[in-house]
Structure 1
Amino acid sequence: MKNALINRPRLAAANLSLLVAGLALSTAVFAHVFPQKQEPGAGATVASPAQVRIVFDGPLEPAFSSLTVTDASGKQVNTEKSAVDAQQRAAIAVPLPTLAAGHYTVHWAAVASDGHRTHGDYSFDVK
């Protein structure tokens, strides 16, 4: 019986440690931002869009978040820099010139306001 009483505080401490570690890990996972809406959308076939815009699931750090658009040969087609929307800090857009028919790839890098970075790309076609 005495051993069982000694082990209870150790068991409680171990459980508390696991709980704290689990909470810390889940907070780290949710600190990253990911796209929620893309215009034009991934895989879409559209007329030449005036811009590419992505809305993320959390606010972005403007100085470190970016969008670029390349054509099928890998040449960047946007001549202006992308910008995070001042009114909706979860959105970033880049203006585009008139695009010829073809395949285009959007490359994005998003830094959450807490400094965590995610990145990716997707493609769309212009008819």
Structure 2
Amino acid sequence: MKIVSTLRSLESFLCLSAAAGVIFLGSAGQALAHAHPVHESPAPNAIVTAPSEVRISYDDPIEPALSHLTVQNAQGKQVNQAKSSVEGKAHKTMRVALPALAAGQYQVQWVAVADDGHRTHGSYKFTVK
């Protein structure tokens, strides 16, 4: 009788462990769903003629209402007057229009919130010649 009880307890434990493993593995893909840049224009550390916009493409769709990017000059003043926007049905590209930029260094700061709510952010610099 004691052996049967022990076997049932072991069987229950193994079933619960297997179920927990399936749930964990099933949610692992969601936990890794962060939107990361795959292409920036202008590129980080690039030396360019004055661009008319900054455009960043991401590897996962981003939420337009929660994602944004800004461009600042070397003194830290925001130079884009337009609000950034997320383009297309795929929601993988964010852009912001720029006024005519003077020669100097600029910093792009971005926040991207993936469709599942995970937030990433970053910044990079480019130089206008």
The equivalent residue for 1:86 is 88
State the identity as a percent.
Answer: 42
Deviating beyond 3 angstroms after TM superposition, the runs of 4 or more aligned structure 1 residues are 1-6
Give the TM-score taking structure 2 as reference length.
0.84
Question: 5+ residue gaps in structure 2?
Answer: none
The letter for the 1-side match of 2:100 is: T
CA–CA separation in structure 1 for the residues paired with 2:66 and 2:19: 37
The equivalent residue for 2:66 is 64
CA–CA separation in structure 1 for the residues paired with 2:8 and 2:64: 55
CA–CA separation in structure 2 for the residues paired with 1:46 and 1:8: 66
Question: 5+ residue gaps in structure 1?
Answer: none
The equivalent residue for 1:49 is 51
What's the RMSD between the two structures over aligned residues? 1.9
The equivalent residue for 2:117 is 115
- The alpha carbon displacement at 1:116 in A equals 2.4
Which has the greater radius of gyration? 2
Give the TM-score taking structure 1 as reference length.
0.85
The equivalent residue for 1:29 is 32
- Secondary structure (helix, strand or coil) at the match of 1:78 reads coil
Q: Any idea what the Cα deviations from partners look like across 1:17-73, whole Å, max 9, x if unmatched? A: 13312332331222x211111001111111111100001112222111111000111
Q: Which moved more, 1:20-29 or 1:104-113?
A: 20-29
Q: Any idea what the Cα deviations from partners look like across 1:61-100, whole Å, max 9, x if unmatched? A: 2111111000111110111111111354211110111111
